[in-house]
Amino acid sequence: MSVYIPLQLKGLRPKRTLRLVLWTGEEQGGVGARQYFDRHKVNISNFDLVMESDIGTFLPVGIQFSGSEKARDIMKEIMKLLQPINVTNLYDNAEGTDIAYWMQAGVPGETNNKLPS
């Protein structure tokens, strides 16, 4: 959500639609994720990336990513922009109940990675 305010204050308009989706019930079988996918998969060609941040508040040090080689090359360019905030590592195999349906259907996925506790 914190992305929207700086964009608006700077008078910037994203090239693509940014959609923030929140739900509960992940631990009870991923009901919200499944329903959202079922309702919106008809528009799957409009989805460029799905992201999940589900491990609380932390300082990310990297990104776990799943996607095609072309998508990975784009993510490597994005990682260069994240270097000033020390998000420097790109790992394989994004995972998450909330984005699994999309990734299985071919949409690139990303989850934030933190230092091991």
| Residue 40: predicted pLDDT | 96
73-89 burial code (b ≥16 CB/10 A, e <16): eebeeebeeeeeeebee
Residues near 44 by beta carbon (within 8 Å), at least 6 away in sequence: 102, 105, 106, 107
| Residue 113: predicted pLDDT | 82
pLDDT tens per residue across span 72-96: 999 999 999 989 888 889 999 998 8
Query: What mean pLDDT do residues 45-69 have?
Result: 88
Catalytic residue among 26, 69, 77, 95: 26
The DSSP element (H or E) to which 65 belongs, if any, is: strand 62-66
pLDDT tens per residue across span 5-22: 777 788 888 888 888 887
How many structural domains comprise the chain? 1
At 96, which CATH number? 3.40.630.10
Task: For residue 26, indicate whether it is catalytic.
Answer: yes
Range of the domain at 16: 4-113
Alpha helices in the chain (DSSP H): 4-9, 31-40, 69-82, 100-104
